[in-house]
Amino acid sequence: MNSDPRIKETKDVELFRNDAQCVGEAFRRGATRREVINRLIAAGMSVAAAGTVASFAETAHAQTARRGGRIKVALSQTSTADTLDPARGLNPTDQSRHFMFYNGLTVLDETLSPQLALAEEITPSDRATMWHVKLRRDVRFHDGSPLTSADVVYSLRRHKDPAVGSGARSLAEPIQEITATGAHELRIRLSEPNADLPALLGLTGFLIVKDGTTDFRTANGTGPYKCAEFRPGVRSIAVRNNEYFKPSKPHLDEIELFGIADEPARVNALLSGDVHMINNVNPRSAQRIISTPNVSLFETKGGAYIDLVIRLDRAPGSNPDFVLAVKHMFNREQIRRAVYRNYAVIGNDQPIDPTNRFFDPTLPQRPYDPERARFHLQRSGFANQTFPIVVSPAAGNSEEMAQLLQQTALQIGCNFNLQRVPADGYWSNHWMKHPIGFGGTNGKPTADIQFSILFKSGAPYNESGWANERFDRLLVQARSETDDAKRREMYAEMQRLVHEGSGCCIPVFASNLDAHVRQLKGLVPIPTGGMMGYNFAENIWLDQ
Partner 1 sequence: MSMVVVRLVLSRIAIAILTLGFVSVAVFVGTEILPGDVAEAILGQGATPEAVAGLRAALHLDQPAHIRYFLWLGGLLSGDPGRSLVNNLPVAELIASRLPNSLMLAAVTAVVCVPIALTLGILSAVWRGSLFDRAANFLTTSIVAVPEFLIATLAVIVFAVRLRWFPALSYAAGIISLDQFFRLFALPVFTLSCVLTAWMMRMTRAAMIDTLRSSYVEMAVLKGARPMRVVLTHALPNTIGPIANAVALSLSYLLGGAIIVEIVFNYPGLARLLVDAVSTRDMPLVQACVMIFCSAYLYLLMLADIAGILSNPRLRHR
Residue ranges in contact with partner 1 by CB under 8 A: 74, 79-83, 88, 90-91, 161-163, 165-170, 217, 231-235, 258-262, 264-265, 268-269, 271-275, 424-425, 427-429, 441, 460-461
Give min distance, CB of 82 to partner 1, in A: 7
The residues pairing with 190 across neighbouring beta strands, listed in sequence order, are 175
Q: Which is nearer to partner 1, 32 or 77 (CB)?
A: 77
Q: Which is nearer to partner 1, 168 or 329 (CB)?
A: 168
Give min distance, CB of 371 to partner 1, in A: 37
Give min distance, CB of 235 to partner 1, in A: 8
Q: Find out whether 316 and 308 touch, Cβ atoms under 8 Å.
A: no
**Cα(528)–Cα(525) distance, rounded to whole angstroms?**
9
Q: Which is nearer to partner 1, 135 or 260 (CB)?
A: 260
Give min distance, CB of 216 to partner 1, in A: 8
Q: Find out whether 175 and 119 touch, Cβ atoms under 8 Å.
A: no
Q: Which is nearer to partner 1, 170 or 318 (CB)?
A: 170
Give min distance, CB of 231 to partner 1, in A: 6
Q: Which is nearer to partner 1, 37 or 297 (CB)?
A: 297
Question: For residues 22-59, b (16+ Cβ closer than 10 Å) or e, as one string?
Answer: ebbebbbebbeeeebbebbeeeebeeeebeebbebbbe
Cα radius of gyration rounded to whole Å, the chain: 25
Question: For residues 104-124, b (16+ Cβ closer than 10 Å) or e, as one string?
Answer: bbbbbbbebebebbbbbebeb
**Cα(456)–Cα(22) distance, rounded to whole angstroms?**
43
Give min distance, CB of 166 to partner 1, in A: 7
The residues pairing with 415 across neighbouring beta strands, listed in sequence order, are 386
Q: Which is nearer to partner 1, 178 or 289 (CB)?
A: 289
DSSP annotation of 529: B
Give min distance, CB of 258 to partner 1, in A: 7
Give min distance, CB of 273 to partner 1, in A: 7
Give how far Cα 215 sits from Cα of 84, 94, 141, 423, Å: 9, 16, 15, 31
Q: Which is nearer to partner 1, 92 or 124 (CB)?
A: 92
**Cα(351)–Cα(497) distance, rounded to whole angstroms?**
11
Nearest to 311 by CA among 303, 322, 325, 300: 322
Sheet harboring 225-231: ordered strands across? 225-231, 235-240, 254-259, 70-75, 277-278, 512-517, 295-300
Q: Which is nearer to partner 1, 256 or 500 (CB)?
A: 256
Q: Which is nearer to partner 1, 272 or 384 (CB)?
A: 272
- Complete DSSP assignment for 281-299: --GGGHHHHHTSTTEEEEE
Give min distance, CB of 87 to partner 1, in A: 10
Q: Which is nearer to partner 1, 76 or 356 (CB)?
A: 76
**Cα(51)–Cα(36) distance, rounded to whole angstroms?**
9
**Cα(455)–Cα(449) distance, rounded to whole angstroms?**
10
Question: For residues 296-305, b (16+ Cβ closer than 10 Å) or e, as one string?
Answer: bbbbbbbbbb
Q: Find out whether 387 and 435 touch, Cβ atoms under 8 Å.
A: yes
Give residue 353's region: left, alpha or beta (phi > 0; psi -120 to 50): beta
Give min distance, CB of 274 to partner 1, in A: 5
Q: Which is nearer to partner 1, 245 or 258 (CB)?
A: 258
Q: Which is nearer to partner 1, 386 or 428 (CB)?
A: 428
Give min distance, CB of 246 to partner 1, in A: 30
Give min distance, CB of 347 to partner 1, in A: 20
